[in-house]
Amino acid sequence: MKLGDFKVLTFDCYGTLIDWETGIVNGLAPLVARAEGKHGRDAVLEAFARHEAAQEQATPEMPYSQLLAAVYERLAQEWRAPVTREQANIFGASIPDWPEFADSAAALQYLKQHYRLVILSNVDRISFRASNLRLKVDFDAVYTAQDIGSYKPSLRNFEYMLRRLNEDFGLQKTDILHTAQSLYHDHAPAKQIGLASAWIDRRHDARGWGATVAPPGTPAYDFRFESLAEFVAAHRRERGG
């Protein structure tokens, strides 16, 4: 299997292209400052992951910005920190402030020359629009949890994407390389549905699972890179560049 075997790269966005862990930690800093006890970065991300996954299962049709506000309130209750609805909504609206990874925009601009680029994200449309400006590329399609009515790792999201790619572009499953950081949200369901995948292991030098819960078992993947820049370098080598 080679990178050049595929016609389209389907991307997770947050954690893969956008540095959501930095955005989450920065957005939760005021709450952490009011919380009982001390909560370091790893503990904050672990607690966020636990509550985000539970909220996504409980309210699969809730837009992500509203879901983030609900997660904020759940964390406030766990940490015994008084909060207002306004404070929760501010965190929910913080996605446009989440920074892109340093290599994302340039890598996407290169990859756009060789593939169709597609987003499959758990975020809502309005929030993604701001992130898209940071990424400086026109995606061929964007499919969000808001469009689908469920959150990854639900197979419904991947089935929706496959159907739309076939209907809109005539693409088959074998044309697609799903490219993502999260083993839980992306690689486990991608393999379950029969998609090839490339793991962008952004947390290769960190312990634990960060802002995602642990995946079931050890999900398989076909390629592994520690950054998107490394993916691009491998693609160039494959082409003899």
Is 12 designated active site?
Answer: yes
Cβ burial of 109 (10 Å; 0-12, 13-18, 19+) is middle
Contact (Cβ atoms closer than 8 angstroms) between residue 98 and residue 21: no
Distance between CA 117 and CA 193 in Å, rounded? 20
Contact (Cβ atoms closer than 8 angstroms) between residue 152 and residue 120: yes
User: What is the amino acid identity at position 46?
Assistant: E
Contact (Cβ atoms closer than 8 angstroms) between residue 183 and residue 199: yes
Q: In what order do the strands lie in the sheet with 223-225?
A: 141-144, 116-121, 8-11, 176-180, 196-200, 223-225
Contacts of 9 (CB under 8 A, 6+ apart): 111, 115, 116, 117, 118, 176, 177, 178, 179, 198
- Annotated catalytic residue, options 12, 19, 124, 186: 12
Contact (Cβ atoms closer than 8 angstroms) between residue 176 and residue 120: no
Residues marked as catalytic: 12
